[in-house]
Amino acid sequence: MKVGAALTVVALAATACSSGSDSKNAGGSSPSAGGSAPAGNPNGVYSYQSGEPQNPLQPANANENQGGRILQVLFRGLYTFDPKDGHPVPAMADKVDSTDAQNYTIKIKPGWTFHNGEPVTAKSFVDAWNWGANAKNKQLSADPWFADIEGFKDVHPEEGDPKADTMSGLKVVDDTTFTVKLAQPVSSFKFKLGYVAYSPLPQAFYADPAKFGENPVGNGPYQMDGAWEHKVHLKVKTFANYKGDDKPKNGGIDFKFYTSAEAAYTDLLSDNLDVMDQVPTTQLGKYKQDLGDRAVDQPQASIQLVGIALYDPAWNKPGMEKVRQGISMAIDRDTITKTVFKGARTPADSWVSPGINGYLPGTCGDFCKYDAAKAKQFVQEGGGIPGNKLTLIYNGDANHKEWVDATCNSIRQTLNVECVGDPKPTFKDSRNIIQGKKVTGGLFRTGWQADYPLNGNFLADIYRTGAASNDSGYSNPNFDALTKQADANPDINAAVKQYQEAEKLLAADMPQIPLWNYQSTTGYSKKVTNVTYVWNGDPDFTQVVVK
């Protein structure tokens, strides 16, 4: 996931979590194949509302959607995802064969090249995965994304230095074939292979990975167009030799880094911004009138949550789970979604977004329903709010102030404790604090945009002990065991049900508080057409037509 600025950590997780949306942590690539589109300017460049990526642009080092979305258009892995329902669609994969969900033979399509002309081979994948998994390279997506592969613990031990440079489960057979052996069967492995961390890398990467992160060379539909101008924008242009089915219908994208959603919306109305991430909450009551048939309102696989710093002993001592449950019941989700969001969000009743395979309505139960009396009772029985004060960190460059204030007001009035929002200037600033586990006021804004459409992506990638997007520092051996059993189940439907059992433990522990499910409430300028938003809320970048 991907965590997004407007949402959460996909997790690109996708994930942990956009400038209008979050610990992916934010998500997989979701292009659509060809198809007819209105005639336009094939060389035209359009602009997109984004924000400064948190980290260098290395495929295994992005678990937020500001960097993740850029990497998604620069790289193509074995799979992409269908725009409507998110099922895996072959990209570079010619065949991915397995009879036991543990041993895979992967054949890639020949003839693909990186933007520098280097051929993409089986070795390009194997070397990239080994490098991304190795603990010495400190890639955010190493665990859990490569943890399924046999030999992962040798390159990424829990403690100490790596015992090996490569994973024993990866073998190059020839230029277009490699094999993967997993430590155990994983029924969802093909779904995971669409995540950007599994992208191939050219040999130029290894000479200077940090330099590469400033000017990446991928194999995707777009290539870099000039230097990354930090805190301003990053431009990409169409890669003429791209071999994928989703060839761009435009000449490039200008990812413009905004520090204010209101400023982005003003630019949209004046046609100085072409495609928006999310409309500011202050404009939800009028954006459809402003934009007419250019307004978008559709479901997306994303959820907003409040994270809790469980690594702080004050928040993780015995009994504090009741305090956390009490805080959740002190939040009037119905009123906030109706007043602040004008009905453009729906109250969450689960830790998984609706529309995802395995979404189980009501998993959160009464803990996600406003109940002032029970909220007070639970907080008192759990030992009270530490210091009788809550601080909720969020990024000030997106659509959060209004709902953060409303959430704190609901908590304050219900529990008679101080609760204040603590805005940080940018998404990157807030993510650095959250990811560094330096939250001191108890609470932080997070969310999740799906990387692939299975409930495990919303659960193991955020709440399993040590997961890259586990920003709360949550650890429950029973949860870990259930999710690992689910991963090992070769029957995907049975695995989904096992994940549902694991999710029920989150209600008892409340490591993060589900708030509401997102809609894609957005729009586009008069200068573009054929603008569509895919299953997880991202635009279908290659299909936008510039008039």
* 4: confidence class by pLDDT, cuts 50, 70, 90: low
Q: Which residue ranges form the domains of the chain, and what is each CATH number?
A: 45-62+223-299+522-546 (3.40.190.10), 88-209 (3.90.76.10), 300-519 (3.10.105.10)
Q: Looking at 173-235, list the stretches that DSSP marks H as alpha helix, in order from N- to C-terminal side.
A: 189-192, 204-207, 209-214
- How confident is the model over 494-498, as a mean pLDDT? 95
Helix (H, G, I), strand (E, B) or coil at 133: helix
- How confident is the model over 95-101, as a mean pLDDT? 93
CA distance 325 to 321: 6
* 7: confidence class by pLDDT, cuts 50, 70, 90: very low
* 3: confidence class by pLDDT, cuts 50, 70, 90: low
CA distance 374 to 399: 30
Which position has the higher pLDDT, 420 or 17?
420
Tokens read off for 378: 């639970």
- How confident is the model over 129-139, as a mean pLDDT? 97
- Per-residue pLDDT at 157 exceeds 90: yes
* 18: confidence class by pLDDT, cuts 50, 70, 90: very low
Q: Is 240 exposed, middle or buried (0-12, 13-18, 19+ CB in 10 A)?
A: exposed
CA distance 451 to 81: 9
* 31: confidence class by pLDDT, cuts 50, 70, 90: very low
* 65: confidence class by pLDDT, cuts 50, 70, 90: confident
- Per-residue pLDDT at 287 exceeds 60: yes
Intra-chain end-to-end CA distance of the chain, in Å: 33
Query: What is the pLDDT, as a whole number, of residue 536?
Result: 87
Contact (Cβ atoms closer than 8 angstroms) between residue 366 and residue 374: yes
Q: Is 322 exposed, middle or buried (0-12, 13-18, 19+ CB in 10 A)?
A: middle
Tens digits of per-residue pLDDT, 227-283? 999 999 999 999 999 999 999 999 999 999 998 889 999 999 999 999 999 999 999
Percent of the chain with pLDDT over 90: 81
Tokens read off for 7: 């949402």
Query: What is the pLDDT, as a whole number, of residue 36?
Result: 58
CA distances from 310 to 53, 57, 330, 375, 512 (A): 26, 30, 19, 20, 9
- Per-residue pLDDT at 37 exceeds 70: no
Characterize 339-348 residue by residue with b for buried, 16 or more Cβ atoms within 10 angstroms of its Cβ, and e for exposed: ebbeebbbbb
CA distance 531 to 536: 15
- Per-residue pLDDT at 153 exceeds 50: yes
Query: What is the pLDDT, as a whole number, of residue 9?
Result: 35
- Per-residue pLDDT at 343 exceeds 80: yes
Query: What is the pLDDT, as a whole number, of residue 236?
Result: 98
Sign of CA dihedral 325, 329, 331, 333: positive
* 296: confidence class by pLDDT, cuts 50, 70, 90: very high
Averaged pLDDT of the chain: 91
Tens digits of per-residue pLDDT, 363-405? 999 999 999 999 999 999 999 999 999 999 999 888 899 999 9
* 187: confidence class by pLDDT, cuts 50, 70, 90: confident
Tokens read off for 150: 């046999």
- Per-residue pLDDT at 512 exceeds 50: yes
Q: Is 361 exposed, middle or buried (0-12, 13-18, 19+ CB in 10 A)?
A: exposed
CA distance 542 to 522: 18
pTM confidence score: 0.83
Residue 308: Cβ within 10 Å count: 28
- Per-residue pLDDT at 32 exceeds 80: no
- How confident is the model over 323-349, as a mean pLDDT? 96
Q: How many CA atoms within 13 Å lie on the side-chain side of 517?
A: 21
Weakest-pLDDT range from 36-50, 194-208, 310-324: 36-50
